């Protein structure tokens, strides 16, 4: 039987936090608390402007552990699925070219609404899923999907409440 895993894209593979921080610093917005941009379906005008910018998505960098581990799993015959809540046209259109440019071997990304990922995850039936959004992790767990929260400063209050990993290297197949 083929092994399947699911990874969120932003915050698990792509380092969106550093990219937002650098953008805000360069734009003089160091004082902005953007934590909700990362774990909620934001309506913040600054966030929507940034997330509509194709260049922002193109310039994201992958986490080093994600690049290595995803490519290792893929080389071992694991189907690595990407399930993301990206909703802006610019972000969705950038996903596949970004993965290709960084040579991150996954299946074609699937896009979902916030708090609806469990529906697609159930169809894939993964060994596990990795997510940086605590509310998504809770919903996935409640729906029988083995899921881990990837640690980040913006989800720290959930580290002891949810199954949590520091890095993708923490996971075994």
The model's pLDDT over 54-89, given as tens digits with 9 standing for 90+, comes to: 999 999 999 999 999 999 999 999 999 999 999 889
**Range 69-76, long-range pairs (CB < 8 A, 24+ positions):** 69/167, 69/168, 69/169, 69/171, 70/7, 70/13, 70/104, 70/105, 70/106, 70/168, 71/103, 71/104, 71/105, 73/5, 73/173, 74/105, 74/106, 75/105, 76/173
Residues β-bridged to residue 90:
none
Residues with pLDDT less than 70, the chain: 27-30
Quick one: pLDDT at residue 39?
84
Q: Which residue is listed with tokens 């520091």?
A: 166
Quick one: pLDDT at residue 36?
84
Quick one: pLDDT at residue 24?
87
Domains of the chain, with CATH numbers?
4-16+57-170 (3.40.50.1000)
């Amino acid at each position: 039987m083929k092994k399947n895993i699911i990874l969120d894209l932003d915050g698990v593979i792509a380092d969106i936090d550093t990219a937002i921080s650098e953008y805000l610093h360069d734009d003089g917005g160091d004082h902005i608390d953007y934590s909700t941009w990362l774990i909620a379906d934001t309506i913040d005008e600054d966030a929507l402007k940034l997330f509509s910018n194709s260049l922002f998505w193109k310039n994201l960098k992958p986490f080093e552990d994600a690049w290595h581990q995803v490519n290792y799993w893929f080389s071992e015959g694991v189907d690595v699925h990407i399930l993301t809540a990206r909703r802006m046209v610019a972000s969705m259109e950038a996903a596949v070219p970004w993965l290709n440019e960084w040579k991150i071997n996954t299946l074609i990304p699937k896009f979902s609404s916030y708090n609806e990922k469990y529906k697609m995850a159930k169809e894939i039936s993964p060994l596990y899923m990795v997510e940086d959004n605590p509310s998504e992790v809770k919903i996935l767990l409640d729906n029988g999907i083995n899921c881990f929260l990837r640690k980040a400063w913006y989800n720290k209050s959930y580290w002891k409440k949810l199954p949590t990993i520091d890095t993708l290297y923490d996971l075994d197949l």
